[in-house]
Structure 1
């Protein structure tokens, strides 16, 4: 453990999954904890049971001044930078850290950190599978699945490989978080509902390289100007990937062949026609992962085999079923304008698009021309429905739905043979659902409830 925490007074903000995981970790280290959440008490049945079991005091229904009675504060990613409680902590000059930072104090193994506006969940999951072919102790989590605090709580060793998806929320208030391998896949405007402005969002992504040294390796996207800019900030070794340019070293697409070159290695890895993942963006993800896995010491042959067998992650361009010659695809993880653009570009078939939700400040007008080319029929849900309708004004066959059930019913009714019904909202889910996972599950449940022969 990096710091002596016995008897340290620590306030934890947020009683969600990552907050409770941090509470267990810090409690076992002997810290004196207090938890605070603005949510209503009746929504925290399980959380309250856990905290009572650990004898950790807490408050709900708002944040009081007791939050500031601490040596430092650890915040959960769900609490926005612009919130009153965060501003109060910063104004008090108390040290503020994220759960990611606190968990890193307990980690002895090698950390690989993956971030980006889009693609980080697929890349993290894929890299985890690739590394498992060469190492016994590979732990995948962070911003997806299992919080970092839960991954380290049972102990580790120098041989442990942590494969972490990290978000801008988690990077915002780090201090010593130090990945030995890291990548920024891309940076486009996102989460402007959480960050105070775009500069804050981009600045949080920058921090991934802050503590990297010459012994580490940063993998960057030469096709993305922000990823390339961040590479210039890093003191580590830097290796690029590209799907548009031939490189002197790194990983790149040449025709349909993915090629890898570094040090004395210079070979074709595979033909992208053999990859199960859809879209050029996933070729970029694969290229990034090939560099990361080899720099992490994994077998190139085993990594390539894992890549070829990888079918993707749930809620990201996930084929649900084919019904009456119409494919239904769940892309609920599309929570911003750029991820919607990626989804549209991944199909040659005419699309029946289901989009909408809570707007995150995205510029849907930037997709007007692309939508006109790709989308034949449009079904809109959620708070941003009218904003998207205005942006996609060239699409004449437009429908509005007040629920996922109604959206799927409409899709089943209007979709024609050879078309693809694509749920790719381009928005957050919180106006109608708990999260994008619930949104995607409801879409799949509704699609699977239909029998053949409409």
Structure 2
């Protein structure tokens, strides 16, 4: 059977099958075609649902493609199979290929194998995009040429199809991508947190957590791992199964270990250089989980030789991605926060920990299989009322019964009205759903924008 090294040595000699035709799948097709190998596509969706540009490319290049399902023979005819992140790995055709000894790798893993520059990789249940973006901006602020992509923005193979003019790659990496990343070995691997998520895909929470830890699997002692010292899931698993990389920490307490803490409104870097380094945090980054994200990004950038001056300058002006614990406005002494990106229980718990006001929580949507009990501590301590929407509202009402007052709403707009009527001066109305958005909205961004419009409309009522 053909291994990845053999394939990379002479790609034109082999047949490659791409499974899944999304953004990363299209990038894989174009990359493999440029390498000269015989490429094919297998896609479960019907042909009319495919992107028009993809269909045109397939026709122009005379690439074999099957749609509306997968053929076992197509999979067994390949020497290498490249899977898109959303493709279920238990697919019967993939299982048959695996049993036949055919190399199976993800689009991300294939790209990483060809990448020839240092890599900073970021994963975690929550905060990945913010931290990836911030590390990229810190390094760019120091005059470095940086590619920022992976699970956000530009797929890795799209970068490899271009000029490849970066000197550092900062990559957001999902658990799905780590599942098929092969021998992925980042120079710096950042693990932000682990809490229940994507249990509609993984068989158990343990399986999901193990996927996140794969970011360290191929690192060596001269590589670096940046790890959350406050996350018991991470610290417990690393204590049970130590990693090879040198570990740096961020959190409230380092226990004498090297890394970053927040003290007196500043990030303090300890135990790494001859003196402590201190970086002023702007007000909007002082609230959890923003402070943890800033600590992790600062630490990763600093070990990549980002100068102190550049870190201070970029932190002062950094703008977080939208829909992440963003203050929308204040009306009659009530603060309204858009945290629509909080699509899992860990993200909501983290948001609640950062709130210093009584909270009216708007939550609900499409259930992702997480344990709502993970939020119980935050709900008891901070939430005076919940307004629940979407498919999961009955399940959530049962989970939080007796912890706080609960009301149902049939739409997000109705939920905002009910929350506003219940709120008193000094309260916060927080949209932090703990669920996917696809039962009622096109995306979490659509949900967040609808929330913001509903809040601004309160001024007209």
Residue 384 of structure 1: how far off its partner (Å): 1.1
User: Is 2:294 the counterpart of 1:304?
Assistant: no
Return the match for 1:432 from 440, 443, 455. Answer: 440
TM-score (norm 1): 0.91
- What's the secondary structure of 1:266's corresponding residue? coil
Residue 309 of structure 1: how far off its partner (Å): 1.8
What's the CA shift string for 1:130-163, capped at 9, x where partnerless? 1111133111111122212222221325x62111
Structure 2 gaps, min length 5:
none
- What's the secondary structure of 1:276's corresponding residue? helix
What's the CA shift string for 1:354-408, capped at 9, x where partnerless? 1112222212134334213322332212221111111221366433233334433
What's the CA shift string for 1:299-319, capped at 9, x where partnerless? 122112212222311121122
Task: Tell me which residue corresponds to 1:63.
Answer: 70
Residue 38 of structure 1: how far off its partner (Å): 1.8
User: Is 2:88 the counterpart of 1:80?
Assistant: yes
The alignment's C-alpha RMSD in Å is: 2.5
Q: Is the 2:417–2:458 contact (alpha carbons within 8 Å) kept by the matching residues of 1?
A: no
Distance 1:91 1:413, change over 3 A: farther
User: Is 2:10 the counterpart of 1:4?
Assistant: yes
Q: Is the 1:115–1:185 contact (alpha carbons within 8 Å) kept by the matching residues of 2?
A: yes
Return the match for 1:175 from 139, 161, 182. Answer: 182
Task: Tell me which residue corresponds to 1:247.
Answer: 256
Tell me whether 345-354 or 70-79 shows the greater mean CA deviation: 345-354
- What's the secondary structure of 1:334's corresponding residue? coil
Q: Is the 1:12–1:73 contact (alpha carbons within 8 Å) kept by the matching residues of 2?
A: yes
Task: Tell me which residue corresponds to 1:32.
Answer: 38
User: Is 2:219 the counterpart of 1:195?
Assistant: no
Q: Is the 1:15–1:37 contact (alpha carbons within 8 Å) kept by the matching residues of 2?
A: yes
Aligned 1:339-418 pairs, distance under 5 A: 339-394=347-402, 397-418=405-426
Structure 1 gaps, min length 5:
none
- What's the secondary structure of 1:280's corresponding residue? coil
Return the match for 2:171 from 161, 164, 167. Answer: 164
Distance 1:323 1:146 in 2: 38
Residue 117 of structure 1: how far off its partner (Å): 1.5
Residue 64 of structure 1: how far off its partner (Å): 1.8
Q: Is the 2:129–2:172 contact (alpha carbons within 8 Å) kept by the matching residues of 1?
A: yes
Residue 329 of structure 1: how far off its partner (Å): 1.8
Q: Is the 1:176–1:211 contact (alpha carbons within 8 Å) kept by the matching residues of 2?
A: yes
User: Is 2:299 the counterpart of 1:288?
Assistant: no
How many matched pairs?
Answer: 451
Tell me whether 383-392 or 37-46 shows the greater mean CA deviation: 37-46
- What's the secondary structure of 1:452's corresponding residue? helix
Distance 1:340 1:172 in 2: 25
Distance 1:55 1:410 in 2: 57
Distance 1:246 1:421 in 2: 36
Q: Is the 1:368–1:393 contact (alpha carbons within 8 Å) kept by the matching residues of 2?
A: no
Q: Is the 1:356–1:426 contact (alpha carbons within 8 Å) kept by the matching residues of 2?
A: yes
Residue 40 of structure 1: how far off its partner (Å): 3.4
